[in-house]
Structure 1
Amino acid sequence: MSDAEKTRQNILTVAADEIHQHGFKATSLSVILNRCEISKGALYYHFTSKMELGYAVFEEVYTPMFLNVWHTPLGVDDPVEGLCDFLMSMTEQMSCSEVVCGCPLNNLCEEMANVDEGFRLRILSMQEQLNQLIVDALDKISDDLRENLAFSQVGYFIVATLNGATSLSKSSRNKTLFQQVIAELCLYIRALKK
């Protein structure tokens, strides 16, 4: 990796952390410059604007990180149990900072979807990709599932419930509430089986 590529990657990493901690609008380019120990010119060499940097963080950091997390539980022989194991482990492993700060991707979606069309379209694309992962996993075991399930709706329901639980946890700073909602979600997911 060249020095320019390393600098660009460092900017993305730092910007992703700043956006997670403070939100996109409150993220300061000056703080990113200081943390990366680069000049404004070096930043603008890689990203022509804060919005372009935000798009890159969403596409290159948050989306792949988020989708990759879902591949393992959906790729097992029984994705219903894989999903429940994944979700329940999330409740156990959630740190205090995650309870307070929330999911970086969910935060950015809530903040920017209604503000910027570029973000809205990127969020929609990511949501469609995740939904397709869930649909494909459920389709592989369709013979074991109840009849007349609309897998696309099931996928969106699972993700919407998780996002809602994350938002509840963040606003209430209550990890127990998150755990309770996820336990109910797992009851729903397991009830998909015949």
Structure 2
Amino acid sequence: MPASKRVRVQETSPRRDPERTRKALLAAAFHCVHRSGFQGTDLDTILEAAGVTKGALYHHFANKEALGYALVDEVIGQIVRERWLEPLQNAEDPIGRLIAIVQATPLQQEEVERGCPLNNLAQEMSPLDEGFRTRIAAQFHAWRGAIADAFRDGQRRGKVRGDVDAMETATFLVATFEGYVSLAKNAQDFRELQSGKKLMVRYLGSLRAAG
């Protein structure tokens, strides 16, 4: 899930507007963590990027971990919703919608270099912090669940093959997608992801109901 939805860092001082301050901190944290990882990002770097004071940060978040948890729940969660969950809601042709989502995955070098923000944090923080692990698991669960629900709805509409196990196939698709994103990141080569997108589109087409 490359971060194709840009999270904007506040350009004007947010100090006198608590909600803008909070949003600026989350946007700055997202960009810094996506670039350097959670452990590789210190609070001073986030504060400088957000243009706020340490006191303002502690007004909204008890510590760096609390900021990281909110980053997963709110910023990455929004990307998952906008990229996958919302487009699949009530889709008359879920296969076609999934193909469109996969094809729209960006291949820009910056996106390839940094990889998927959700999977990056899963690899880095899930073994180390239960708060991160459970929040990341919730995002993956919502992602897989949205695809599975779309498959079930498609089966009722006669759009998806009846022998498709909705949740198993959804899990396979998420794992395959994230795998190709990780391969592209490791190789620093968009062609790895480009190849994966073609194969995923072909596989999705095979799930259509006959006729």
Normalising by structure 1, we get a TM-score of 0.93
User: Counterpart of 1:126?
Assistant: 139
> Corresponding residue for 1:66?
80
Select the residue among 21, 26, 39 that pairs with 2:35. 21
| Alpha-carbon distance in structure 1 between the residues aligned to 2:97 and 2:66 | 36
Structure 2 CA distance, aligned partners of 1:35 and 1:73? 32
C-alpha deviation, 1:148, in angstroms:
2.7
Structure 2: which 5+ residue stretches go unaligned? 1-13
Q: Is the 8 A contact 1:168 1:178 kept in 2?
A: yes
Pair 1:45 & 2:95 matched: no
Shift of 1:71: 3.3
Matches within 5 A, 1:143-182: 143-182=158-197
Q: Kindly state the Cα deviation for residue 172 of structure 1 after the two structures are TM-superposed.
A: 0.2
- Distance in 2 between the 1:9 and 1:147 partners? 44
Residue matched to 2:6: none
1:183 corresponding residue in structure 2:
198
Do 1:14 and 1:36's aligned partners in 2 also have CA atoms closer than 8 Å? yes
Structure 1's 73 and 4: CA in aligned 2 closer, same or farther, altered over 3 A? closer
Cα–Cα, structure 1 residues 37 and 154, in superposed 2: closer, same or farther, change >3 Å? same
2:19 and 2:100 map into 1 onto residues whose CA distance is: 37
Output the amino acid matched with 1:188: Y
Larger mean CA deviation between 70-79 and 18-27 belongs to: 70-79
Instruction: Kindly state the Cα deviation for residue 153 of structure 1 after the two structures are TM-superposed.
Output: 0.7
Q: CA deviation at 1:94?
A: 2.1
2:49 aligns with 35
Change (3 A) 1:37 1:146: closer
Secondary structure of 1:129's match?
helix
User: Retained in 1: the 8 A contact 2:26–2:70?
Assistant: yes
1:112 corresponds to which residue?
A: 125
Compare the two structures and name the one with the higher helix fraction.
1
Identity of aligned residues (%): 34
| Structure 1: segments with no counterpart, 5+ residues | none
Tell me if the contact between 2:85 and 2:143 (Cα under 8 Å) persists in the aligned partners. no
2:98 corresponds to: 83
Distance in 1, Cα, partners of 2:139 & 2:117? 14
By how many angstroms is 1:97 displaced?
A: 0.4
Aligned residues: 192
Using the TM superposition, give the Cα deviation of residue 72 of structure 1 relative to its aligned residue in structure 2, in angstroms.
4.9
The one-letter code of the counterpart of 1:100 is E
